[in-house]
């Protein structure tokens, strides 16, 4: 029974880590895109008015992605509790250096900014 639980937990952990990486990679690409839009506008010697709508769209997308990442971090903690509840101790999957608990906000309220 323990072997089956470990295998099940590992398969969930692998997918969780893959999703965390994909989300982080997507956020990095979005940041790169917003930077490139600004740089391209400057290189083309265009007014700051050009590209503002595109930058706004990327920023809104990044904000949504940050919210999704926050939810995924919460899911990570929920799954860790679940593993603890069924008697699976941590075996060092994923990144081993964790921030102090004080640095992990408990799902703060999000507010839309106009």
- Residue 87's SS3 state is coil
Tell me the pLDDT tens digit for each residue of 4-61. Answer: 888 888 889 899 999 999 999 999 999 999 999 999 999 999 999 999 999 999 999 9
Which is nearest to 82 in space by CA: 14, 3, 12? Answer: 12
Residue 96 lies in a domain: no
- Which residues span the domain enclosing 46? 1-86
**Domain membership flag for residue 47:** yes
- The C-alpha atoms of residue 61 and residue 58 are separated, in whole angstroms, by 5
Does any domain span residue 103?
no
Q: Is 46 left (phi over 0), alpha (psi -120 to 50) or beta?
A: beta
The pTM of the full predicted model, rounded to 2 decimals, is: 0.72
Question: How far is residue 5's CA from residue 23's CA, in Å, rounded to a whole number?
Answer: 27
In a domain, 105, yes or no: no
Is residue 106 assigned to a domain? no
The total number of structural domains in the chain stands at 1
């Amino acid at each position: 029974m323990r072997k089956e639980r470990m295998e099940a937990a590992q398969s969930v952990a692998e997918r969780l880590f893959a999703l965390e990486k994909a989300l982080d990679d997507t956020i990095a690409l979005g940041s790169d895109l917003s930077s490139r839009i600004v740089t391209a506008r400057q290189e083309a010697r265009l007014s700051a008015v050009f590209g503002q709508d595109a930058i706004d769209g990327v920023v809104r997308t990044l904000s949504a992605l940050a919210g999704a990442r926050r939810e995924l971090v919460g899911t990570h903690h929920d799954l860790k509790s679940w593993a603890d509840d069924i008697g699976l101790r941590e075996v060092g999957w994923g990144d081993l250096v964790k921030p102090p608990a004080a640095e992990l906000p408990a799902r703060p309220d999000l507010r839309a900014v106009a």
